[in-house]
Chains A and B, each alone.
Chain A
């Protein structure tokens, strides 16, 4: 490179940035000593570089560093179990609702079912007892069903929940007929496990757990 006769224009920026080999640097330096034109170009490049270096940093409109909390290892199983549990209990809710309503499809809800749906569980239990009493009375005394049921209904009250099944109550039922209690003896009630809303509540809890776990995993 020494004895450079052409203007080393392409090397001026690298010369300025001290990015030339020793030999190139010496050759360009020697040329610059005797070349006013290349000296001016070097000064312009230096000034341009300084202007660029003085540019202010630009500010983003929002924080660009994402939240990087690593998700706990147990979060994935929780999400999976939550999803499975939610589906399972939703299915149980539907199944139990269908099964429990299926008993009334054939001939309408029994009095016990109707009372249970209204939340009158004590009365419902008594109605069940009266059904049992009626069944026994039918077979033992051949008394018409409404009368037996009426006797059972007459025995409603605290402490009588098991009386319907006793022979004593059956006899009294036969002695004191009352047509007013007839609806309580339509047919035996049928219930399947816990009430359906309980299944729905559990399904919702599982779904919430799965959703929260999913959100945490997604953010991580």
Chain B
């Protein structure tokens, strides 16, 4: 019992988790500052480009020619910016932009991740089993994997612009779970004593992490697409009156590149989700005597699977590529979160393992 002795492994775990949450919150702030500064930097660059244009204008000595020239210039600058940010996205670790605040954010995220990992492992050791068998533990391990996948992906792509989304999501999910889902360690219930618990839940968390990245990218894709649309339609492309979204968008890859990347995470997530579905059915067949019974949790797992199959189809359908398919990725991830939170807490079904009364 945690309260009987001063420092049990179980209470160490709780301490580690809360420390991790605090550091994630700091990382979130650092990443947010990074985004704000990117916006500012982009505005400065644009200001400089404008002076440049003004000079051309004077030199050309004609208002009309000047304005078209400036417009073409802006579009060319936009293309160049897009290419530069695509190159930045794919830049190997050593050759990335030195974004100080993003660096601070990533360092803090790594630190928080270590505490988080410590909290997760100590919980597992204290319980003498895998630490994912009730709501609190699902959240603990699930968010750990979200961060792990994010940090892992950073080796390949410079996705630090998603940092505030990932750390923010982690703070909210982990914080809320630690506050309201926390339960002391109890022995495993019989139906959970299965290798399939290990596989099924782990893979489900992994695909959740991938869907989360796809979601973040899809949201940015929509914002970016909107910005591109606004800019293309603006009467005077560099007019300061045109509101085209937050400034940091200027430093991000174009909507097409974001979409392609979102798609790659989504299909990886889809594979793992397919596996989750199959592993869950095998387990259900052992535990309950049927592999499929449209239990609430099964229904939602199925709905999510079909939504992402729809997303993949949408990407291959003329007229659906782009914004519409991005919405499906967003809806899909919303369903994933809904499945984890609302369905676990309020829907009645056989998957009653939240550990909550």
Partners in one complex: no
